[in-house]
Structure formats: C-alpha cells, structure tokens
C-alpha cells in the first residue's frame, strides 16, 4: 500500500513464501482484466550480487493465492478481493526467491544459490537495495515471514542480520514461520506415528514407513544428503498412496491446492504489462533446475539459527492442523529439542484457546518470552488460503502484541474492516438462487465395501481402503423407487478408473468396471445352497431356535443357583453345621450305649471315668456331681460331656475362620 502519515511506526512484512507443491496444467484462459485497485504500488527488479538459495517456488503464490490484497480463486481470468489480506494495516513486500523461479532471472547456472549462507547474503542484499531506493522504509520495523521450505531460509536471513549485521539498515523485529521444514531429520521421524494415530494408516503400514524413515535418517547422519532427500521423497509418496488422500498438505481437501492458477494468471500479456515484465518471459512458480541444484540442502537442519534468533527477537511458529506432511506434530517434535534458556518455561506455559470474532474456535496459542506457537484449526499447509481472515488476525495480533500474544484475554480479530462496499438498499433475499444440474457429480470420501483387483495392473485393494471419489446417480435405473448411485475411484497403483455402484436389491455394492470383486467363495456357495433348499434352511432355523432355548434354560439355572448362594448367611451356616455335628454325636452315643449293654464294658467305662476325674483335678475345675446308680448312666454322662467338648471346639474353630479383621485386631 502507499505510505501515509508517520512511516516509522508502520511495520513492513517481507514475505518469503515457498512451497514444494507441483503445479497442475490447465487449459489456456483469456487475459485477465485487472481492476485499478489491484494494480501494484511498485514492482520491478532488485539488483543483487550473484551468489550461489534452497529449492523453492515463487512468492507470487503467496501474493495471488494466499495473503495478497487480490487473489485468484477458481479462474485465472478473474481476481477477487481477499477478505484476509495481510496489508490491512501493514506494508507488504514480496520477494521472488530463490533466483530462477517466477520472474526472477539467473544469468547463469552458477548464479543460483546452493546453501543457506548464500541465501541469507542474497536476501539481505535485496532488502538493503529496496530500502536505499525507498528511504522512507529505513527505520520502519521489519518482520520476515515465510512458509514450507521458508522454514529454512527465514531463520537463515534472521540469523545473518542478527549476528553479522545487527546495526545495518534492516530494523528486524521478528520472524514468523508457517508449516516450516526447519529440522528435517527430527521432523521425518513423526510421519508414520502421526499418520497412524490420526487413523490414516494401520500398525503394519506404520512399521513399513518407520523402516523407510530410519534409512533416510541414517543416510543424513552419514552426510549423504541427496540420497537422504531421495528416500524421504519416496517415503512421502508411499504415505500418500497408503492414505488415498488428494494431498498430504490438507487432509480435508478433495483436490490439491490450485497454485497452477497463479502461473496461468501471470503468463497473461496484461499481467506482464502491469508488473513491468517482458512479454517474452514465462512465469515458472517452481523450477526443476533450481530444485536440482539445491536438492542436497533439503535434509540439513537450521534449528540452531532459530535458537540464536529466539534469544534476541520475536519468533512465531504457526501450523495448520490438517497438514500431514509438515504440520503441527513435526514442528512440536523439533521445538522440544531446542537449546534455549526459556524452553522449560515455554513447555509448561498455558495453551490458550483462540476464538475468532464470531466466537468460533480458531485455534490455540502458547507463548513464553520471545517464542509464540499457534495451531490454526481447519487449515492445512497454506494457512492463509484455508483460513484467510484468521491468518490475518493472527499476524496482526502477533506484530502489535495484542490479544493472546499480550496475555490479555481478548479475542483476536474483534476489529472488523469491510472489504467491499454494500449499498444501503441491498437485500440478499432478492438474489436468485444458483441452479445446479440435476445429475451433478459430488466429491466425497469413500471406503471400499469389498476387496477388488484392478483389471489394468492387477493391484489388489483391500476392503476398507479410503478414497477421494466422485459420486453421481445412475440415470434411468432404480430398484423399487430407490436411486442407484455410482462411485468413481482410481487404482492406488496405476490410477486407472474403477466404477462401483450400489446394489439395493442385495443390500450391497457391485464392481461395475475397471476391476473385479474378490469375494469369499465358501460363503457365497453356502448362501446359494441355503437359498435353493428351503427345507434345509428351515432345519437350520429349527436348530438355532433349539440351541437358543437350551442356552436360555442354562442361564436360568445359573441365575437360580447364584441367587440361592447369595441368600446363605453366616448364621444359617453355623446352625446347619451344629445340627450336623449333633446328629453325628447322637449316633456315636447310641452305638456306645448299645455296646456297653451287650458286652459289659463297665470296667473300661470306670477307667475312663477315673481318668476324667484325674484330668479335672489337674485343671482345678470344680467337680460336677452326678447321681449315677448304674453303669449305663455313668457311661451316658461321659459320652455327653465328650460330645459337648467336641462341638464347642468345632464352633470355636468355625467362628475363628469366619471372624472379621476387626475381631482379629481385638
């Protein structure tokens, strides 16, 4: 935007955006018509000393697809106002980095950067050149931001300025990195476990990926950087095939990000004229030549640069929570290993809920000292594309130190600035509803109902495999008034199209073309036999019913037995035991009495009596007088006394066994 008022207090954001996504070719479109509001304040080239920068794509993707004031959404022939543009209160400067991508020019192959040191020197020279051409920006605070591969060169330029040019012309106040690749080896370890716990792969697939991860990590430790980068790329490709997602950068998207629209826009004649670019030049958002030169830099870490910067300036790391490639989990993993004096306090700091201006969940913020970490809800790799307004509110609150970044419990984005003029007599109810064709295809998430084999390559796809597919209704085909639906999926190996449609008659699905279903032959044969033989089916149902009756009877018997056992108390158990003992003693007494009468055991009984009397004297117990006139009576008394002693000992033992813990303590 054009400067006005006091320029010293207005921050400037230098956008160094990057992504590793590949563009998809589309049909050529007519030249776009730029509205006057979309014309750039200034555009052109900054001369820098050639120096051998990392494999990235043009920052014009960030300008026209993410956070610029105008962006392409669905057609390259139209620009639409961006409701979440970052230049609402800031100035924006987009630098095409590295040399060789976009409209930037590399005089020769040797001019393309190849390491982070050269990247930093090159970017610093460009910033100084810009400030010298525009002296009003000399004292304005500068915040450098970037995403994806810029997770390496944002720390690189920040480290270079803070360590080697602390008193230079660039008034650096902060660094912001979104979904950045900063410590590749540490981040690589998280891919398998993150995908598994998120439900995208199973335990077996996780083990396969973990083995591939270790191969890439071992190559990086051996400083075989290119080989390590190759194995990492293969691993991510396998992960994409396993999940069936349209893109790992956003798990909720049914198609990849349409960054190819930016190339189609900027290759139009009018766009080149407005930007002051020669009509003979062709815009390339991603350069294969640059990528090849910088491929060996991919697996190298710049974590130490972040550690140096966070001690001296503000640093914000933000991630879209739907990114499965360079997302939240991988960033948190390397953050925990930082060599920073405030790391312990940061990890123990409160993670606060961030809500947008409408009160809806926008994400989470955790901060301590100079470090801020933001998890953006509902966004993937390109946060400004997925959540434009929330990303703008986030960057404004961080730069200005307000909202959750100040410790105050207020909502970021509570200030709302209208981006479009709405007439007073505007009535949205008068807008005609958009009519869609009756048989329009929808993009849905689909899970394979049966195991299938591709007719093209012979690849087997298991039941339960998830796909992003197209779905529509089958024309002129119904079953009892029920519509038949057809699903279009692609083979995970050769991308051949496979069609499956619903089978309402049999409550299932039919593989229509492109593949064959692999069913369980025994189950199908059994089903046909049962369907053909009605009597056999009746017999089976009878057996099943009989078995159910037997099971129910057994359950009733078990319930009654359990209830009887539950009703038995300790008192009733003691009474039953006493009765049993008494009955046994009575039987013994009767037998002894009969023997004494029949065989004359008078002498033995007298001896037992004398022994008993002698025992009573020893224990000093008083004698009980018993008037006995006959040997039979004496024998009866002796037997009863002995019987009573036995029962008493039995009760004492039983009561001791059934005693409570409190009784034992006493």
pLDDT at 631: 43
More confident residue, 631 or 561: 561
Known catalytic residue at 537: no
| DSSP code for 102 | B
Banded model confidence at residue 439, pLDDT cuts 50, 70, 90? low
Q: 44 and 50 in contact (C-beta within 8 Å)?
A: no
Q: Report if residue 559 sits inside a domain.
A: no
State how far Cα 521 lies from the chain centre. 38
Residue 394, SS3? helix
Residues 281 and 140 grouped into a single domain: yes
The whole-number average pLDDT for the span 444-459 is: 91
Q: How far is CA 214 from CA 231, 338, 653, in A?
A: 10, 22, 68
Domain-ending residue, one of 380, 405, 430:
405
Q: Tell me how long the chain is.
A: 666
Residues 486 and 632 grouped into a single domain: no
Known catalytic residue at 323: yes
Among candidates 324, 315, 380, 392, which has minimal Cα distance to 356? 392
Tokens 């030049």 belong to 281
Residue 585 belongs to what domain range? 579-665
Residues 322 and 264 grouped into a single domain: yes
| DSSP code for 22 | P
Burial of 341 (0-12, 13-18, 19+ CB in 10 A): exposed
Q: Is the pLDDT of residue 666 over 80?
A: no
CA angle 412, 417, 423 (to 5 degrees): 145
Q: Report if residue 538 sits inside a domain.
A: no
CB-based contacts of 259, cutoff 8 Å, min separation 6: 19, 21, 23, 57, 61, 65, 285
pLDDT at 101: 74
Q: How far apart are CA 392 and CA 398, in angstroms?
A: 10
Tokens 């809920």 belong to 353
pLDDT at 626: 42
Highest mean pLDDT among 282-286, 467-471, 613-617: 467-471
Q: Report if residue 543 sits inside a domain.
A: no
Banded model confidence at residue 230, pLDDT cuts 50, 70, 90? very high
Q: Is the pLDDT of residue 519 over 80?
A: no
Q: Is the pLDDT of residue 152 over 60?
A: yes
The encoded tokens of residue 4 equal 């006005």
Q: How far apart are CA 162 and CA 513, in angstroms?
A: 62
Residues 503 and 610 grouped into a single domain: no
Q: Is the pLDDT of residue 651 over 50?
A: no
Q: Report if residue 356 sits inside a domain.
A: yes
pLDDT at 13: 54
CA angle 636, 638, 641 (to 5 degrees): 105
CA dihedral 167, 168, 173, 177 (to 10 degrees): -130
Domain-ending residue, one of 381, 405, 429:
405
- Catalytic option among 264, 297, 323, 356: 323
CB-based contacts of 77, cutoff 8 Å, min separation 6: 29, 30, 31, 32, 33
Q: How far apart are CA 116 and CA 51, in angstroms?
A: 11
Q: 111 and 33 in contact (C-beta within 8 Å)?
A: no
Overall number of domains in the chain: 3
Q: How far apart are CA 103 and CA 99, in angstroms?
A: 9
Residues 521 and 599 grouped into a single domain: no
The whole-number average pLDDT for the span 55-80 is: 80
Q: Report if residue 90 sits inside a domain.
A: yes
Residues 243 and 367 grouped into a single domain: yes
Residues 589 and 513 grouped into a single domain: no
Q: 148 and 381 in contact (C-beta within 8 Å)?
A: yes
Q: How far is CA 76 from CA 65, 149, 200, 435, 482, in A?
A: 11, 25, 34, 23, 41
State how far Cα 530 lies from the chain centre. 46
Among candidates 579, 582, 574, which has minimal Cα distance to 659? 574
Q: 66 and 17 in contact (C-beta within 8 Å)?
A: yes
CA dihedral 94, 98, 101, 105 (to 10 degrees): 90
Q: Is the pLDDT of residue 307 over 70?
A: yes
Q: Which residues of 226-252 are buried (b: 16+ CB within 10 A; e: fewer)?
A: ebbbbbbeebbebbbebbbbbbbbbbe
Residues 202 and 349 grouped into a single domain: yes
| DSSP code for 406 | T
Q: How far is CA 231 from CA 32, 44, 212, 292, 293, in A?
A: 41, 39, 7, 15, 17
More confident residue, 248 or 605: 248
Q: Is the pLDDT of residue 629 over 80?
A: no
Q: Is the pLDDT of residue 9 over 70?
A: no
Q: What does the mean pLDDT of the chain come to?
A: 78
pLDDT tens-digit readout, 525-550: 666 666 667 777 788 888 888 989 99
Residue 230, SS3? helix
Q: How far apart are CA 194 and CA 192, in angstroms?
A: 6
pLDDT at 654: 45
Q: 34 and 274 in contact (C-beta within 8 Å)?
A: yes
Q: 185 and 302 in contact (C-beta within 8 Å)?
A: no
Q: Is the pLDDT of residue 184 over 80?
A: yes
Burial of 466 (0-12, 13-18, 19+ CB in 10 A): middle
pLDDT at 411: 44
Q: How far is CA 416 from CA 184, 201, 232, 628, in A?
A: 38, 42, 43, 117
- Catalytic option among 18, 59, 114, 148: 148
Q: Report if residue 126 sits inside a domain.
A: yes
Burial of 327 (0-12, 13-18, 19+ CB in 10 A): buried
pLDDT at 114: 77
pLDDT at 598: 67
Q: 164 and 170 in contact (C-beta within 8 Å)?
A: no
Among candidates 646, 644, 638, which has minimal Cα distance to 608? 638
N-to-C CA span, the chain? 90
Q: How far apart are CA 54 and CA 434, in angstroms?
A: 46
Residues 605 and 494 grouped into a single domain: no
CATH of residue 86: 3.40.50.1820
Known catalytic residue at 198: no
pLDDT tens-digit readout, 19-65: 322 222 223 333 344 445 544 555 544 443 332 233 457 778 888 88
Residues 352 and 251 grouped into a single domain: yes
pLDDT at 616: 59
pLDDT tens-digit readout, 103-151: 777 667 777 777 888 888 888 888 888 888 888 888 889 999 999 888 9
Q: 49 and 123 in contact (C-beta within 8 Å)?
A: no
| DSSP code for 431 | S
Q: What is the pTM of this model?
A: 0.57
Enumerate the β-bridge partners of residue 502.
509
Residues 308 and 191 grouped into a single domain: yes
| DSSP code for 325 | S
Domain-ending residue, one of 405, 427, 452:
405
The whole-number average pLDDT for the span 248-270 is: 88
pLDDT at 530: 62
Q: Report if residue 458 sits inside a domain.
A: yes
The whole-number average pLDDT for the span 411-429 is: 57
Q: Is the pLDDT of residue 581 over 60?
A: yes
Residues 479 and 343 grouped into a single domain: no
- CA gyration radius, the chain: 43
Q: How far apart are CA 314 and CA 334, in angstroms?
A: 18
Q: Report if residue 300 sits inside a domain.
A: yes
More confident residue, 117 or 3: 117
Q: Could you check whether the bond before residue 32 is cis, i.e. omega within 30 degrees of 0? A: no
CA angle 403, 175, 304 (to 5 degrees): 125
CA angle 412, 10, 388 (to 5 degrees): 40
In this structure, how many other beta carbons lie within 10 angstroms of the beta carbon of residue 512? 14
Q: How far apart are CA 303 and CA 152, in angstroms?
A: 8
pLDDT at 273: 85
- Catalytic option among 377, 381, 386, 393: 381
| DSSP code for 433 | P
């Amino acid at each position: 935007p054009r400067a006005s008022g006091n320029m010293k207090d207005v921050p400037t954001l230098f956008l160094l955006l990057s992504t590793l996504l590949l563009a998809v070719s589309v049909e050529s479109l007519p030249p776009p018509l730029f509205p006057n509001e979309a014309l750039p304040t200034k555009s052109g080239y900054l001369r820098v000393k050639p120096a051998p920068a990392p494999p990235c794509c043009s920052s014009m993707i960030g300008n026209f697809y993410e956070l610029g004031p105008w962006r392409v959404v669905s057609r390259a022939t139209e620009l639409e106002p961006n409701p979440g543009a970052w230049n609402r209160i800031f100035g924006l400067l987009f630098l095409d980095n590295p040399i060789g991508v976009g409209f930037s020019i590399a005089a020769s192959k040797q001019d393309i950067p190849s390491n982070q040191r050269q990247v930093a020197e090159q970017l610093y020279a460009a910033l100084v050149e810009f400030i010298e051409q525009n002296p009003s920006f000399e004292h304005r605070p500068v915040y450098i931001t970037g995403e994806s591969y810029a997770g390496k060169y944002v720390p690189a330029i920040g480290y270079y300025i803070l360590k080697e040019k602390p008193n230079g012309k660039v008034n650096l106040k902060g660094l912001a990195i979104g979904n950045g690749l900063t410590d590749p080896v540490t981040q690589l370890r998280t891919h398998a476990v993150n995908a598994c716990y998120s439900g995208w792969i199973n335990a077996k697939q996780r083990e396969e990926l973990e083995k591939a991860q270790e191969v890439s990590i071992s190559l990086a430790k051996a400083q075989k950087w290119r080989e390590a980068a190759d194995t990492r790329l293969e691993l991510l490709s396998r992960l994409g095939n396993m999940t069936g997602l349209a893109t790992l950068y956003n798990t909720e998207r049914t198609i990849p990000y349409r960054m190819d629209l930016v190339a189609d826009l900027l290759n139009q004649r009018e766009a080149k004229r407005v930007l002051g670019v020669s009509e003979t030049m062709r815009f390339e958002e991603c350069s294969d030549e640059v990528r090849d030169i910088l491929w060996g830099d991919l697996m190298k870490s710049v974590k130490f640069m972040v550690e140096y910067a966070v001690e001296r300036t503000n640093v914000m790391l933000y991630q879209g929570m739907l990114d499965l490639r360079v997302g939240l989990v991988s960033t948190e993993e390397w953050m925990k290993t930082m060599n920073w004096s405030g790391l312990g306090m940061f990890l123990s700091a409160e993670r606060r809920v961030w809500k947008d201006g409408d009160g809806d969940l926008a994400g989470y913020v955790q901060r301590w000292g100079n470090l801020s970490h933001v998890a953006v809800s509902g966004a993937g790799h390109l946060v400004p594309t997925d959540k434009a307004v929330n990303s703008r509110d986030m960057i404004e609150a961080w730069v200005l130190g307000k909202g959750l970044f100040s410790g105050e419990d207020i909502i970021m984005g509570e200030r709302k600035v209208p981006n479009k003029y709405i007439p007073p007599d505007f009535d949205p109810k008068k807008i005609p509803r958009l009519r869609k064709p009756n048989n329009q295809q929808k993009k849905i998430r689909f899970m394979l109902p049966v195991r299938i084999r591709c007719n093209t390559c012979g690849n087997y796809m298991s039941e339960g495999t998830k796909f992003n597919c197209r779905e529509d209704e089958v024309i002129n085909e119904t079953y009892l008034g029920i519509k038949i639906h057809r699903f279009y999926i692609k083979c995970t190996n050769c991308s051949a199209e496979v069609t499956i449609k619903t089978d309402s008659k049999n409550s299932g699905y039919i593989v229509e073309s492109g593949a064959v279903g692999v069913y369980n032959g025994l189950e199908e044969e059994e089903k046909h036999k049962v369907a053909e033989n009605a009597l056999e089916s009746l017999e089976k149902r009878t057996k099943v019913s009989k078995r159910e009756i037997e099971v129910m009877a057994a359950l009733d018997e078990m319930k009654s037995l359990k209830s009887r056992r539950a009703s038995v108390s300790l008192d009733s158990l003691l009474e039953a035991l006493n009765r049993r003992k008494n009955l046994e003693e009575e039987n013994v007494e009767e037998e002894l009495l009969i023997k004494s009468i029949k065989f004359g055991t008078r002498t033995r009984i007298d001896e037992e009596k004398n022994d008993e009397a002698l025992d009573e004297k020893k224990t000093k117990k008083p004698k009980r007088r018993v008037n006995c006139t006959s040997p039979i009576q004496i024998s009866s008394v002796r037997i009863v006394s002995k019987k009573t002693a036995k029962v008493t000992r039995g009760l004492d033992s039983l009561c001791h066994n059934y005693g409570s813990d409190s009784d034992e303590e006493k």
